[in-house]
Structure 1
Amino acid sequence: MSTATVPSAVLPPSVAATVRRFRQPKKTLPQTKAARDQVLGWVRAFQEERQLVPPVPLEELQQHTDEIMQRHGIDPLYRDYVGVLLGNETWREALATVPYERRLLLMPKCLRIESKCPAPFDEFGLLCKQCGLCSIQDFQNEAEKLGYAVLVAEGSAIVMSLIQTGKVEAIVGISCLPVLERTFPYVEAAAIPAVAVPLLQDDCIDTTVDIDWVWDYIHLTSEDKTRRLNLNALHDEVKTWFTRQALDELLGVPEGGTEELARDWLARDGKRWRPFLCIAAYQALREDPEAPISDAVKRAAVAVEAFHKASLIHDDIEDNDDERYGEATMHEQHGVPVALNAGDLLIGEGYRWLADSELSAVVRAELVKVAAEGQRELCRGQGAELLWTRQPGALEPRQVIEIFRSKTAPAFEVALKVGAALARRLDEVEDVLHAYSENLGVAYQIRDDLDDLGDDAAARTEVAIRPSVILSLLLEKGKGEVKTAMQALWSGQAEVLPDKRIIRQWAEESGAHEKAMMLLESYKEAAVRSLQEVEIPNLKGLLRRVLGKIFNELEIKGWCREREEENAEGKEELRAAAAAAAAHLVPIVKETAATPS
């Protein structure tokens, strides 16, 4: 067993309130979160294009819904669902203008876990006891803090009664499609802004909802001047700064072969999330987000990406990877010494660009301090993993998450803090950006972990022995031969590494995959909750939407339950392969256990 010490992570506070139940959505809704987010994106683009003025009569709303569905080839089963989303979006800007204290948050009692919920009822509805078993308490606490009136009740009668009082100027609701269908005429007739996030089930017990959509509507306010900022366009603009020509124009022509090599690597493919985060924070915090972005600010964002690309060069060497972005890694092409030096150069260049003379001395000092602290923390996280690889042993999920926190979160934190420093507002938001980055970084790495195990097209199809949430959960939840096989894998005793498809099969059957997805959602929501104390609407709104953009664009490969269920023949073949792998790995562990120490 390993003697390397890896600290145990602290999970997000109130984790019981954020680890969600998984239930399959009803058949008249898109079955995956990614699919629902995609449909919502299409609906928002349509409303942006048409600028429909609410209240839109039902017949007209259905016509527009049909146009959206035909345009994107949406399943006819989802017609009512798409119609609700379009109705919501027509009211979006009007809702933003209504003060929080004139709004009502209306939630159904079926969001609770009925068999365990301790909350009593009065004549107005459910009285939440803040037990942390469901999402009701989180929504209620945040909405009341903002100034909302909150009611946990349901039905068309209650909606009609509330509207008739004249005391509610806008409603944010959560409801099932049948209730929304019955209440539509009342809302249309009253002509008050009303949005309703559809429940994913309509059986009135232990229902679930797309939590991030609810948070989005609850926080929507006209005080957020960035709410109309097109994040896709901003991301695309940032990407244009990384063509080889754009980099040379911004940074000057490289001098010598080493600079050429480093510049080429900087221009290579990448999602550019870190410079995007930097500029997003800058836009949210500066006085005029519509003013042109200066070259000095662009260079600072490029510096953030340079640090990231340097870490990838070094990671590839440390992990002995031979491919990245579908191409040979730098050390494969040019050898380890050259690659190490190029990575070091990118780090030095990053600091040089942060020290841009066009920025004030105070800002330059803040930028360098932020980058240095982030570099130190990242190296500590990578070091913990490297020490573990010298004598690998089983890691608990919390220990894996601690490594994720140290390895990935610092880069996001540097990006956001650099943006805040460029806007001269770092002192106001430093603590919040730290908490947000930690949770964002862990969620991102869990997602990356899932994606890596789902990528059968990668150069390696066998599972690498490394800190992994899925592998850790599989050891924890696996039974019999699977557990024994995982013990062999974690202890480094497995002579043959199992195929990724087999690991996915084991993870699905043991519940490890579902637990990983719940952890992912937990950290995403913890990132959202970290913004609750933010009093800058621009930053609060933008970072909420940034979170949605990052995770909506990340597609987890190879984990589609629907696809596996459609191919029963392939599933049986996969089970046979999994059984064979277990049979091969189990004797190795037994032999190890039987050998006297």
Structure 2
Amino acid sequence: MSTVTPPATVASDAENLTSKEGRRKRRRSTGHLKIVPETPELRQRLRDRCREVASKFDKSTPMTKDEMETVSRRLLADMDMPEGYLGWIMVVLSSEYWRDQVAGVPHSRRLFLLPHCLKHAEGCPADYDEFGMNCKTCGACSIADFRTRAEELGHRVLVAEGSPIVMKIIVSGYVDAVVGVACLNVLEKAIDKILLAGIPCMAVPLLSSDCRNTSVDEDWVREMVMLEHREPQQKTRSYVHLLRGAADIFEPEQLQNLVPKLRGELSLREIKEKLHDGSDALVGIDPIAATEALGLDFVSRGGKYARPFITLAAYDALTGDKGTESGGADVVAKIPDGVKRAALCIETFHKASLVHDDIEDDDTFRYGEQSVHKSHGIPTAINVGDYLIGLGYRLVAGETKTLGPAAVADVLHCLSNAHTRLSEGQGAELVWRDNRDKRLKPIDALKVYALKTAPAFEAALYSGVRLAGEAEAYEEPIRGFSRNLGVAFQILNDLKDWQGDADNKLEAGGDVLGGRPTLLWALALASLDADDQAKLLSMASADCGLSDTQRIATVRTLYNKAKVFDQASRLVDKHQQRAEEIADAIQPEPLRRLLYHLVDTVLERPSESAVPLVSISSSLPITAPTKA
């Protein structure tokens, strides 16, 4: 057995990682690295070692997943343990890293997350309703015991799976820390999403991932639930306050403050209630005010608000980085309204593009409701999209006195340039869709991606940076970073289209059926022989004589033959690396940290298996994630 390295040495390895060393060790399959240590004694020994190591960390900023993996591998090597424990060790090490921060959150502000698979699959009388799983009076499994004890302490309890709904709860402001039980597959996604935002989180892994009559170390769960509330020794920076600040902009009261209504007598809250009460939506609304009402309702309807977050976070990063501190909520609340209107403007443009995209693609639903053109007709939807474009420019142009004419002019120039490029990219896609010749070169697909996706990232970043001060030195880095981030993001969307994801896509191959040009299509045409190229090209038409299911199966076979999924994954890696290299050189550190955060959150890799949708309700007033 190898000599055991002292915990301080292992911890210092993480502290001394350079950004490049820590960030280049990603992009590998970890499906075989989720073995749970076999005995309670071994699990306890590994837990104790993780606690020792974590106690030495500098906790001022969250560790990245790559840094966590590096330290976990070293820990396993020093203890002469198999690599297969890696996923389990990362969860335990992460939990110990955040223990002090979780303890700093009162029980009433903690979310206790339980998996439904802990229940006995056969004979379980529990049902799901609007209050979650009703299991208190059964006693047939451990869920009731855990839930009862957690609720006695004041925890909010949710019986569900998946990190998207947890992020929704966090951003909504209901809780400030998460403690939970889940299988390693679910916890891996939680590390990717929840911990990257700096949300205090502890978890106990299930002893198997069978999703049926599984079990857990119950003493460990009770210990986690009963963790006493105390002030943390060191407070970790977090993006939670900025995420909440971005979402709060779209609450009716704040939205009405930022966008004073010019038409009609109804408040935004009254408009929303009227448009969603199930009757004729526009009855009783002044016809002149109808477009404003529809536009503001759609702006506030839903989404992740990623673009406004980027603007607010970039502004904060260059004005003291106070919004990421423990008292950041007050700092974010005091961000000038002019900056918030610029952040709102970015989302307004995005929502306008969604209204028009839904018309072009004839999509029926958006954010869980009928798309605008389905509920109000195509002419009205086109007009609403146009209105939102005008509203976006008005939001920024009206801030000349508060933000300064030079800053406003620079931001408007960036926005108009981004708007033009986005339209060019969308136009190129539409032209290809309407052409009879469905050939496409990979370089042309990448150009379309750069035009369609990168401008939104660039506009959001640049606006925040420019409103914080002079931005000339940042223009080229922001443009290059956004281009590579946007292209990588769009390629990942291509890959998700063939797997399904928890956000939007429930069936594989939607881009083929929808007639949209993709890099996968271009890569396949570049790799296949003439006969297979002709076969693939014939699949672009619904009149090819095959059903949709047969078309998708044929295209998948040809894609696999051309190895396009591997090629696309390597291109994601390439563009991600380029984005990171640009981020490596950015100063000051808070802005560099934000760019790394965007890379880690925006470029989430598809999981190795299909991602289930969250379909379990809870007692919290939250809905399942909808189309973004």
Q: TM-score, normalised by structure 2?
A: 0.54
- Indicate whether 1:532 and 2:584 are aligned: yes
What is residue 393 of structure 1 aligned with on the other side?
A: 438
Rounded Cα–Cα distance in structure 2 between residues aligned with 1:277 and 1:177: 35
Rounded Cα–Cα distance in structure 1 between residues aligned with 2:251 and 2:31: 42
Asked if 1 retains the 8 angstrom alpha-carbon contact of 2:454 and 2:487, the reply is yes
- Indicate whether 1:465 and 2:515 are aligned: yes
Asked if 1 retains the 8 angstrom alpha-carbon contact of 2:341 and 2:395, the reply is yes
Which AA in structure 2 matches 1:531? A
- Residues 1:250 and 1:61: Cα distance change in structure 2 (over 3 Å): farther
- Classify the secondary structure of the residue corresponding to 2:603: helix
Tell me the C-alpha RMSD between the 2 structures.
4.1
Rounded Cα–Cα distance in structure 2 between residues aligned with 1:64 and 1:505: 44
| Cα offsets for 1:544-584 (capped at 9, x unmatched) | 123213334xx747x61899xxxxxxxxxxxxxxxxxxxxx
Asked if 2 retains the 8 angstrom alpha-carbon contact of 1:435 and 1:527, the reply is yes
Correspondent of 2:47 among 65, 74, 85: 65
Rounded Cα–Cα distance in structure 2 between residues aligned with 1:267 and 1:21: 36
- Residues 1:497 and 1:513: Cα distance change in structure 2 (over 3 Å): farther
Question: Which structure ranks higher in relative contact order (CA pairs < 8 Å, sequence separation ≥ 6)?
Answer: 1
- How far apart are residue 417 of structure 1 and its match? 0.4
- Count of residue correspondences: 391
Asked if 1 retains the 8 angstrom alpha-carbon contact of 2:349 and 2:389, the reply is yes
- Indicate whether 1:517 and 2:566 are aligned: no
Instruction: After TM superposition, list the pairs within 5 Å mapping 1:16-95 onto structure 2.
Output: 26-28=32-34, 62=44, 65=47, 89-93=54-58
- Classify the secondary structure of the residue corresponding to 1:93: coil
Correspondent of 1:317 among 355, 359, 370: 359
- Classify the secondary structure of the residue corresponding to 2:417: helix
Rounded Cα–Cα distance in structure 2 between residues aligned with 1:326 and 1:459: 20
- Indicate whether 1:261 and 2:294 are aligned: yes
| Cα offsets for 1:397-425 (capped at 9, x unmatched) | 22211101001100110000000111013
- Residues 1:326 and 1:304: Cα distance change in structure 2 (over 3 Å): same
Asked if 2 retains the 8 angstrom alpha-carbon contact of 1:254 and 1:263, the reply is no
What is residue 251 of structure 1 aligned with on the other side?
A: 259
Rounded Cα–Cα distance in structure 1 between residues aligned with 2:357 and 2:60: 47
- Residues 1:504 and 1:18: Cα distance change in structure 2 (over 3 Å): farther
Q: TM-score, normalised by structure 1?
A: 0.57
- Classify the secondary structure of the residue corresponding to 2:58: helix
What is residue 479 of structure 2 aligned with on the other side?
A: 434
Which AA in structure 1 matches 2:404? S
- How far apart are residue 61 of structure 1 and its match? 10
Rounded Cα–Cα distance in structure 1 between residues aligned with 2:559 and 2:363: 25
- How far apart are residue 478 of structure 1 and its match? 5.4
- Residues 1:310 and 1:512: Cα distance change in structure 2 (over 3 Å): same
Correspondent of 2:460 among 415, 439, 443: 415
- Residues 1:537 and 1:477: Cα distance change in structure 2 (over 3 Å): same
Correspondent of 2:383 among 341, 350, 353: 341
Asked if 1 retains the 8 angstrom alpha-carbon contact of 2:499 and 2:610, the reply is no
| Cα offsets for 1:162-204 (capped at 9, x unmatched) | xxxxxxxxxx879566533269xxxxxxxxxxx99xxxxxxxx
| Cα offsets for 1:143-173 (capped at 9, x unmatched) | xxxxxxxxxxxxxxxxxxxxxxxxxxxxx87
Instruction: After TM superposition, list the pairs within 5 Å mapping 1:203-352 onto structure 2.
Output: 228-253=236-261, 255=263, 256-287=289-320, 289-290=322-323, 291=331, 292-352=334-394
- Residues 1:87 and 1:264: Cα distance change in structure 2 (over 3 Å): farther
- Classify the secondary structure of the residue corresponding to 2:544: coil
Rounded Cα–Cα distance in structure 2 between residues aligned with 1:64 and 1:404: 45
Rounded Cα–Cα distance in structure 1 between residues aligned with 2:77 and 2:428: 53
What is residue 409 of structure 2 aligned with on the other side?
A: 365
| Cα offsets for 1:499-532 (capped at 9, x unmatched) | 3863556545653223222222322222111123
Q: Which runs of 5+ in 2 are unaligned?
A: 1-22, 82-92, 95-190, 197-234, 264-288, 324-330, 613-628
Rounded Cα–Cα distance in structure 1 between residues aligned with 2:522 and 2:259: 44
Rounded Cα–Cα distance in structure 2 between residues aligned with 1:283 and 1:491: 49
Rounded Cα–Cα distance in structure 1 between residues aligned with 2:294 and 2:60: 52
Correspondent of 1:489 among 539, 549, 552: 539
Q: Which runs of 5+ in 1 are unaligned?
A: 1-16, 31-58, 67-82, 97-134, 140-171, 184-194, 197-211, 218-226, 564-597
- How far apart are residue 483 of structure 1 and its match? 4.8
Rounded Cα–Cα distance in structure 1 between residues aligned with 2:440 and 2:380: 34
- Classify the secondary structure of the residue corresponding to 1:408: helix
- How far apart are residue 28 of structure 1 and its match? 4.4
Which AA in structure 1 matches 2:539? L
Which AA in structure 1 matches 2:293? E
Asked if 1 retains the 8 angstrom alpha-carbon contact of 2:27 and 2:573, the reply is no
- How far apart are residue 350 of structure 1 and its match? 0.7
What is residue 573 of structure 1 aligned with on the other side?
A: none
Percent of residue pairs bearing the same amino acid type: 30
